[in-house]
Structure 1
C-alpha cells in the first residue's frame, strides 16, 4: 500500500499578495529542477508566465542546463503580489507519478489560516480540475465551482473571494502552450494585473 506523502514545500506568501495560486501537489522529487513550485522542467507554468509578463517563454528558464531561474521567479511573484501553494498538505500517490488522476488528497490545506497570512488576497486561482475540486470543499454548497474563463464568488470567514479555474500547466493536459497562454493572459487582464 502506498504511503502518505507530506507537502515538501512551505507556502510562498508575500505579505501583500492579492492573488493566491493553488495547484494540486508537487511531482516526485526525481522530477524536480528547483526547490519550488512547478519544478518539473516539462511543466509549462513558468513558460506561460514568461510569455505573458515578459513576452519570452524562456524568461524564467536556464535552457542550456534545463533548469529554472528561481530568483527571477520569486522576484516576479513578490513584485506582482502573487502567493503560491497547493490544495493538498498530504497525498497518497497511487501510481508513483505526478498525475492528478492518481493522487488521493488525504489532508487538505488549512485555507483559513493561509488566507489570514495574506489579508489583501481577494482572488484564488486553481490550476487544474483536481485543485479546483479540492478547493471547493472549503466552501458552502451554494458556492458555484468556477469553470475555465468563468469566475465565481463566495464569502469565506467574512472575506469576499473571487474564484477562478485555469487550465493545468502540465504537458499531460491536452492544450497547446499558445492556448494556455491565452487563457492565463485573459485571467490576468480580468483581475487587473496586466
Structure 2
C-alpha cells in the first residue's frame, strides 16, 4: 500500500445541543469507502455505544440519532494527512480539523479521544485552542486486542457518565 494524502471526507455528527465530543483520528479506508464513521465491522465503537445506551444500531441513521439523543458529537482530530491505508503509525504531515469552530456552536464541555492517535494530534494542534483537556480512552479498533469489548464498554460508560 502506498502513501497518499487523504482529506477527511465526512461531516461531523453534531448539533447545537451536544455536550460531549468523541474524537477519532481519521476515518479508516473502509469508513472512507462507506462514507460513515467506524464502518469497519471489526471496529467495536458502535457495539460499545449500542451496549451503553441499550439501542439497536442497525442503520447509519440510527447511529447518528442515538449519539445526538445523548448530546454526543462525533468527529476526528485530523482534517488531512499523508497515510498508508488505515495505518495510524504511518500518519504524517497533519492538518487538524477545526475543532474550536465546531465547539463554538455547541455546548461541548468534554472531549473523549478514541485512542492514543486521536489524543496525540488533539493535544499537539487543538488543546491550546479549545482549553479542554481530553479524556483518553483505549481505541475501539480491533487492532487494539488488549482490551475486550466488555472492558471497553465499562471504560466508555464511566467516562460518559462523568462527562
- Following the alignment from structure 2 to structure 1, what is the Cα–Cα distance between the partners of residues 69 and 157? 17
Q: What pairs up with 1:166-185 in 2 under 5 angstroms?
A: 166-174=137-145, 175-185=147-157
TM-score by length of 1: 0.75
Q: Which has the larger radius of gyration?
A: 1
Question: Structure 1's 78 and 5: CA in aligned 2 closer, same or farther, altered over 3 A?
Answer: same
Tell me if 1:101 matches 2:89: yes
Unaligned runs of 5+ in 2: none
TM-score by length of 2: 0.88
Richer in helix (by share): 2
Counterpart residue number, 1:60: 57
- Following the alignment from structure 1 to structure 2, what is the Cα–Cα distance between the partners of residues 121 and 31? 26
Task: Decide whether the 8 Å contact of 1:122 with 1:162 is kept in 2.
Answer: no
Task: Decide whether the 8 Å contact of 2:119 with 2:134 is kept in 1.
Answer: no
Between 1 and 2, higher relative CO (CA 8 Å, sep ≥ 6) is seen in: 2
- Structure 1's consecutive aligned runs of 4 or more residues displaced over 3 angstroms after TM superposition are 29-32
Unaligned runs of 5+ in 1: 62-68, 141-155
- Following the alignment from structure 2 to structure 1, what is the Cα–Cα distance between the partners of residues 137 and 6? 25
Counterpart residue number, 2:81: 91
CA RMSD of superposed structures (Å): 2.0
How many equivalent pairs are there? 160
- Following the alignment from structure 1 to structure 2, what is the Cα–Cα distance between the partners of residues 30 and 167? 19
